[in-house]
């Protein structure tokens, strides 16, 4: 599939359209899209609930996301993602801190963050480098880093 056909929801947000993939009753992906993608919903109950929770997050900071997830990754990636899911809104941890907790390297944590299929829901944006903001979704500059900065400021974190 190409374009918007692979998404069951395209939700407008302050950081641009978000493409949400849902498979077998599970949210399995969120992509940061460019402005050519227009809002859309398949209308299924999970798409509507995901839309509600995304709006709540962007409008008021809302509560944590409570959505059924279909996380496809290695055992290690899933361990990292579960650790990231416990980082509360308004808090950050460094790649090194997460690595120390898991008995691995900061680079391995960064690689798992880059592979995170559901950013925002698994808050990889809350992981920063010891010397600043770090990267986001494989980028160290540009739009992706601007998104990370916006998300952190939205949650009350100022680096």
At a CB cut-off of 8 Å and minimum separation 6, what does 66 contact? 53
113 is catalytic: no
Report the alpha-carbon distance of residue 49 to residue 66 in Å, rounded.
Answer: 9
Report the alpha-carbon distance of residue 151 to residue 133 in Å, rounded.
Answer: 12
Q: Which long-range contacts (CB under 8 A, 24 or more apart) does 50-57 make?
A: 50/9, 50/11, 50/20, 50/22, 51/9, 51/11, 54/11, 54/13, 54/18, 54/120, 55/11, 57/120
Q: Which helix (H) or strand (E) holds 111?
A: helix 106-114
Q: Which of 54, 112, 124, 137 is catalytic?
A: 124
* Contact between 102 and 128 (Cβ < 8 Å): no
Active-site positions read 124
């Amino acid at each position: 599939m190409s374009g918007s056909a692979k998404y069951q929801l395209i939700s407008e947000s302050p950081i641009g359209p978000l493409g949400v993939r849902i498979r077998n009753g599970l949210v399995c992906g969120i992509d940061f899209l460019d402005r050519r993608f227009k809002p859309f919903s398949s209308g299924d109950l999970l798409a509507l609930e995901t839309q509600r929770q995304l709006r709540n997050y962007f409008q008021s900071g809302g509560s944590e996301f409570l959505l059924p997830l279909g996380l496809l990754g290695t055992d290690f990636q899933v361990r990292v993602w579960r650790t990231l899911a416990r980082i509360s809104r308004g808090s950050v941890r460094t790649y090194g801190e997460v690595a120390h907790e898991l008995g691995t390297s900061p680079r391995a944590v960064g690689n798992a963050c880059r592979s995170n299929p559901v950013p925002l829901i698994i808050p990889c944006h809350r992981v920063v480098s010891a010397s600043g903001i770090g990267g986001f979704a494989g980028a160290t500059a540009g739009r992706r880093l601007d998104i990370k900065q916006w998300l952190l400021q939205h949650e009350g974190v100022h680096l």
